[in-house]
Structure 1
C-alpha cells in the first residue's frame, strides 16, 4: 500500500534506462530549424524507468517543439548500453546526452564530456536545487560533469511469510545471525538468498559491499573513489562469506545467472531474500509478475551491522560538441532533473530523488527504505558508482570461480586488484 512521503531528501539514482545511440549529426538542426539532440537509453523494455523516460521525453518534445527535439534510441540491457557507450567514446561519437544509472563513466570519458560548472554557476536557482552529496559524486577536480537526480538508498528485501515459516522472528543484527537465519530457512526447505554473477553480479555485489562496509575501515573503503588495491581484510573476509553463500544458500541458476533470474526467484518465492533498491518495489504489486498480495508479504531491512547504501549517484552528462547543441542538451537535462520530473520518477518508479520532495505518494517499502537509510549507523556507496569499470567487469569473471572453489577469497581480492591496476 502507498502512503505519503514528507520531505524526502534525495541524492542519487538508481536506475537506468537511457540508451545510447545515435552518433551526433553533423547538422545541429532538424527540420524547420529545430535542433535535434541524441539520447540513448537503457530505460526501455522491462526496465523500471521505461514509462517515466518515455513520458518525460514526449513532454519535453511537446514543450520545446519549436526549438528542440530529443531523438531517443532504446538500448535494452545495462551492459549493452555501457558497451555501446564505450564504442562511441572510442569513435569520438558520443551522443549529446548520457545518463548511466549506477555506472560511473565520468572517469573514463570526462575528456569528452562538457564541464557543466559554468552553466550551473550562472543559474543560482538550479545550483541550489542540487544536494551537496549529489554534486560531490558528479564532480572531478572541481568540475561538474553530470547533474544529479537520484539518491542511492539500498537495503535488502525479505519475504515475511517465509521468515515466519522458518521461525525467524526478527531480522538479523549481525552477519553471524544472518547465516544462522539462512540455516533456519534451509531447514524449512526454503532457499535463503537470490544471487547472480553475470553483468557485474548486481545483487551479489550489493551483499559483498555491505559485508565489506561493516567496520570503520570497510566503510571508508566502500566510500573510496576508484580504489586500486583490494587486498585488505575486509574484502577477503567478505569474499569468503560470498563463497559460502554461493555454495550453501542460493539457487542453482545463480552462477551464470543475471539480475533477471535473481529477481524472478524472489518474485516466485523461490528465495526469501534479495538485495536491491526501492525501484524494485512497484513489481511487488504487479500481478502480471507476482502472486496476489505478494507486496504485503515483503519488508525491507538494513544489512547486518545497520549498514545501508546511502549516497549520491552519477547523473546526466552532456557530450555535445557545438554551442547550439549544448544549449539544447542543457534544456533537456534541466527538464529531466527538475522537481516535477524527480517527483514523477519517485511516484512512478520508486526512484529516490536528489532534491527534497514533499507530499509524494509512494509504496510503504519505499518510505521504509528512506527511513532506514536516514538512521543507518554506516552509509556506503555502491561498487558500480565508485569502482574502476575494469573491476566491475572482472567481478563477473571471478564470481563463478569463487563459487566452485577454483580460487580462494585472497585470490579473488588479488584479481580485483590486478583489474584495477
Structure 2
C-alpha cells in the first residue's frame, strides 16, 4: 500500500468513533468540477461579509465558485472526520491549528508537498503546529497569541515604567508597587479547560519547562509564580474560574493594572475608558516568553478525484500570498501575517501592533515538539494541576507530579 492508501485506510478506521457526534453534511462529494467546497470555523461571518467575500475572491481567481459552509470550531473537527469516513470531504478546510494533527494522524489530509505548495517563507515557529512526523499539513493564514495588557493610568500612579518589566522578578515587583498604591495587580484565566492551559503555557514555557515533563523543577517554579501572586493578593481568587472573556471584563472595570489576554482584544482595548498599553509576556530570566499560537491553518483533505488538487492548490495559494496574508489580517483585525514579508507590510499600516508581531514571532504551537494528538491529553492534566494548585488543594509540586503520572498513563497507548 502507498502512503495515501495507508492514510485513507487509517482515516476510515479512526473516524468511526466520532460518527455519532455529528449529522451528515454536504462536502466535496457533492461539488461539481466548477464548484469547490470550503469549510471554516467562522459562523459569525455570514454570506456577504468581508470574510465571505475574501473566500469567494480566491475561488474566482482559480476560475471556480466556492460553496462555503461555516461551523463552530468543535463541530468543524467532528464534521471533517465524519466526512472523511463518508467520502464527502470538502476541498478546503480552515482548521484551528491544534486540530491539524488530529486530522493528519487519521490520514485524511494531503501534505503541502503533495499539493506542490511552497511554505519556505512561513515562520518556522508557526508552521510547526501543522507538522506531524516530518510532514507538513497545511499553512497558517495568520496567528494570534497572548501578551500583557496594562492600564497606563494605574502604572503612572504607581510610578511604574512598563518598559522596565522584562522578567518575572520585575513583573512581581511591579505588582507589589501597584498593590501598595491601592490598586489590584493582575488577572488571568486559570479555568479548568483548554483556556487555562493556553494562559499558563507562556509561564510554563517561559520557565524553560517542557510538556513532556510536567513536574520538572522549572514547571513547578512557573506554577509557584501564579500561586504566589494569588497568595499575596496580587491576583484575585476569581482566576480559578476565569475564562479569557471574564478576565477581560475584570480588566475593563479599571481596577487591575494587568491582564493576560490576546490579540483579539486590540480593538476593545482601544475603546476602553482608560489608556491601555501592551507588553510581551516576560520569560523567567528575561526576554519574551513563548506564548501559544492561536489561529487557523488552511488544509486540503484527500480526494478520490485527484484532478481537483490543481484548483485546490490555486485556492490555497490565493489565501497564502504575502498580499493575501495581509488582506486576511485586515479582514479580521486581530491576525498577524505568518511571514516576515507579510508582517512588514502589515506594520507599515499598523505600527501600533509592533508588540503583537514580536509576540507572534516568539510564539509556539501547542502541538509543536511533535506532540500531535498527545497534546490534548497532556493539556488536560496541566490545567487540572493549575486548578489544584490555585485552589490550595495541592502544592504546585504535588499537583504537577500527579499531572505527570496521569499524562504518562493517558499517552502510553
Under a length normalisation based on structure 2, what TM-score does the superposition of the two structures give? 0.74
Residues 176-195 of structure 1: pairs in structure 2 closer than 5 A? 176-195=169-188
Residues 259-408 of structure 1: pairs in structure 2 closer than 5 A? 259-285=244-270, 287=271, 290-291=272-273, 294=274, 296-304=275-283, 305-309=286-290, 315-322=297-304, 323-348=306-331, 349-355=333-339, 356-357=341-342, 358-360=344-346, 361-371=348-358, 379=362, 381-383=364-366, 388-408=375-395
Count, aligned residues: 371
Map Cα deviations across residues 45-84 of structure 1 (whole Å, 9 max, x no partner).
39xxx966334123234545x6232322231xx5565566
Whole-angstrom CA distance in 2 between matches of 1:81 and 1:198: 24
- Indicate the residue corresponding to 2:93 in structure 1: 98
Q: Of the two, which has the highest radius of gyration?
A: 2
In structure 1, list runs of 5 or more residues that go unmatched.
1-19, 222-226
Change (3 A) 1:255 1:362: farther
Change (3 A) 1:214 1:354: closer
Whole-angstrom CA distance in 2 between matches of 1:80 and 1:266: 31
Change (3 A) 1:331 1:341: same
RMSD: 3.7
Q: Which has the higher strand share?
A: 1
Question: How big is the shift at 1:301?
Answer: 3.6
Change (3 A) 1:270 1:79: farther
Residues 7-406 of structure 1: pairs in structure 2 closer than 5 A? 23-25=25-27, 27-30=29-32, 33-41=33-41, 43-45=42-44, 53-63=51-61, 67-75=64-72, 78=73, 95-107=90-102, 109-110=104-105, 111-120=107-116, 126-150=118-142, 154-170=146-162, 171-198=164-191, 200=193, 202=195, 205=197, 208-214=200-206, 217-218=208-209, 221=210, 227-247=211-231, 248-285=233-270, 287=271, 290-291=272-273, 294=274, 296-304=275-283, 305-309=286-290, 315-322=297-304, 323-348=306-331, 349-355=333-339, 356-357=341-342, 358-360=344-346, 361-371=348-358, 379=362, 381-383=364-366, 388-406=375-393
In structure 2, list runs of 5 or more residues that go unmatched.
1-21
Under a length normalisation based on structure 1, what TM-score does the superposition of the two structures give? 0.73
SS of 1:99's equivalent? strand
Residues 146, 317 of structure 1: 8 Å contact kept: yes
Whole-angstrom CA distance in 2 between matches of 1:94 and 1:334: 20
Whole-angstrom CA distance in 2 between matches of 1:230 and 1:391: 8
SS of 2:289's equivalent? strand
Q: Which has the higher helix share?
A: 2
